[in-house]
A = this chain, B = another copy of it.
Amino acid sequence: MQVKDLAFTARQAAYDLSALSLEKRNEALKKIGQALQAHAAEIFAENRKDLADAERENLAAPLLKRLKFDEKKMQDVQAGIASLIALPDPLGHTLLARELNPGLNLYRISCPIGVIGVIFESRPDALVQIATLCLKSGNAALLKGGREALHTNRALFAAMEEGARGILPDGWAALLETRDDVNEMLSQDECIDLLIPRGSNAFVRYMMDHTRIPVMGHADGICHTYVDEYADIETAVKVTVDAKTQALAVCNATETLLVHERIAAAFLPPCAKALKEKGVEIRGDEKTQAIIDCLPAAEDDWATEYLDAILSIRIVNSLEEAIDHINHYGSHHTDAIITENESAKQRFMSRVDSAGVYVNCSTRFADGFRYGFGAEVGIATGKLHARGPVGLEGLCTYKYCLLGSGQTVGETTSYTHRDL
């Protein structure tokens, strides 16, 4: 089928899904889990094909690791489905209930968005995670995974379709496979309500430039840790090392360390020592180079997401300069201040224009699981609709239901606006 037809079918399926009870959606999730387990051997075999192809193409080791789908990954997938089943229904919540006039009641009720297109990396478990998040929230999904995971994705998708057959409307999810499919998807604004690209900033911008469909951007993560003049040095070192090194190729790792000039001489030497023990390359501005042994940082460094064991360091004159740096070079993802000063905390939190503004803790906490959202479809760095880790709630919208008994605007001369 062409993408146009898949999108149209998904649109129709979405109307059916929106009226499906929680019991039915959970039953489908359970059956999907069982079908995946039943087809485990085939899925692993298909994954070995992808891995063999990837090795022939000399894919880097971290990417090979993400591509692998084995018994351990299957266990994670099953645990994810079980926890999704246990989560409360995100649909049908009454977000507002108000009498407009006696007998005329307004309700704002949460409901699915409709049809969601997700483009994600070569991590086969992401396919299951995203499809099941969409299903739990009553959305139809068009799913485009990475080319390297093609065989695994086909096997996973076939098992999911088999599991859900007879419970969910046909076409509730579709698997897209090529870059051309993605391009076709961009013009289906009549049928697709939301696009969620997980990928590079350049890719997210490409999509925004070529579609009318709203794009929820999961783009770069240029996160900062700012060590204020009133920081506790031991805390600052510990948090900085975690924020940079606890994982490297992740969007919530700190890429730039900002340091107040009054604390730099005391803080930087022990921090640099701890970072170097973890194998981190430091690129500092001139003032930093005067205090510790490091490579020089260029202007480009402030705007680079290394996703690697590299940290840029800049010394600033004031909290304001740190905030300006973050708002200018950052990606509005997650930024932290280390300080014991209350007014600095407040000023940082109100003026830093990011989805996550942290005090005295690691930027690595920015994650749907750690926030207790159960699972996430991505981290939004835009400001509309959902911000930060996007879970079930971010995949829902609402409608206004107005229940009357023949009321007209002409006859309604006053409004009670009484919350029910």
Q: Determine which of B15, B19, B355, B362 lies in contact with A407 in the assembled complex, contact meaning CB atoms within 8 Å.
A: B362
**Judging by beta carbons under 8 Å apart, are A407 and B361 in contact?**
yes
* In the complex, chain A residues 214-251 whose Cβ is within 8 Å of any chain B Cβ: 214, 216, 232, 234-235, 238-239, 241-243, 246-247
In the complex with contacts A100-B371, A383-B114, A357-B410 CB distance below 8 A: no
Q: Is A106 among interface residues, defined by CB-CB distance under 8 A?
A: yes
Q: Is A349 among interface residues, defined by CB-CB distance under 8 A?
A: yes
Q: Is A301 among interface residues, defined by CB-CB distance under 8 A?
A: no
**Judging by beta carbons under 8 Å apart, are A238 and B406 in contact?**
yes
In the complex with contacts A371-B106, A385-B385, A357-B113 CB distance below 8 A: no
A353–B411 Cα gap in the complex (Å)? 28
**Judging by beta carbons under 8 Å apart, are A408 and B242 in contact?**
yes
A9–B405 Cα gap in the complex (Å)? 51
**Judging by beta carbons under 8 Å apart, are A214 and B214 in contact?**
yes
Q: Is A122 among interface residues, defined by CB-CB distance under 8 A?
A: no
In the complex with contacts A100-B370, A351-B15, A383-B114, A356-B400 CB distance below 8 A: yes
Q: Is A169 among interface residues, defined by CB-CB distance under 8 A?
A: no
Q: Return A395 CB to nearest CB of chain B, in Å.
A: 11
Q: Determine which of B238, B243, B371, B407 lies in contact with A98 in the assembled complex, contact meaning CB atoms within 8 Å.
A: B371
A205–B189 Cα gap in the complex (Å)? 11
A387–B398 Cα gap in the complex (Å)? 7
Q: Is A212 among interface residues, defined by CB-CB distance under 8 A?
A: yes
Q: Is A403 among interface residues, defined by CB-CB distance under 8 A?
A: yes
A366–B412 Cα gap in the complex (Å)? 13
A406–B406 Cα gap in the complex (Å)? 60
**Judging by beta carbons under 8 Å apart, are B351 and A409 in contact?**
no
In the assembled complex, which residues on chain B have CB atoms less than 8 Å from the CB atom of A385? 384-385
Binary contact readout A379-390 vs B (1 if CB under 8 angstroms, 0 otherwise): 000111101100
**Judging by beta carbons under 8 Å apart, are B406 and A235 in contact?**
yes
Q: Determine which of B365, B383, B384 lies in contact with A402 in the assembled complex, contact meaning CB atoms within 8 Å.
A: B365
Q: Determine which of B241, B362, B383, B403 lies in contact with A113 in the assembled complex, contact meaning CB atoms within 8 Å.
A: B383
Q: Return the chain B residue nearest A241 by Cβ.
A: B408
**Judging by beta carbons under 8 Å apart, are A353 and B15 in contact?**
yes
In the assembled complex, which residues on chain B have CB atoms less than 8 Å from the CB atom of A345? 403
**Judging by beta carbons under 8 Å apart, are A362 and B408 in contact?**
yes
Given contacts A98-B372, A239-B408, A388-B399, 17 further A-B contacts (CB under 8 A): A15-B351, A19-B347, A194-B384, A214-B382, A234-B406, A242-B411, A246-B408, A349-B399, A356-B399, A358-B401, A358-B403, A360-B405, A360-B407, A362-B409, A364-B409, A370-B412, A372-B417
Q: Which residues of A contact B (CB under 8 A)?
A: 15, 18-19, 98, 100, 104, 106, 111, 113-114, 193-194, 205, 208-209, 212, 214, 216, 232, 234-235, 238-239, 241-243, 246-247, 323, 327, 345, 347, 349-351, 353-362, 364-366, 370-372, 382-385, 387-388, 397-412, 415, 417
Q: Can you list 28 A-B contacts with CB-CB less than 8 angstroms, sorted by A residue number?
A: A15-B327, A15-B351, A100-B371, A100-B372, A104-B361, A209-B212, A216-B384, A239-B408, A241-B408, A246-B410, A355-B399, A356-B400, A356-B402, A357-B401, A358-B401, A358-B402, A358-B404, A360-B404, A360-B405, A361-B402, A361-B403, A362-B407, A364-B408, A370-B409, A372-B415, A372-B417, A384-B385, A387-B398
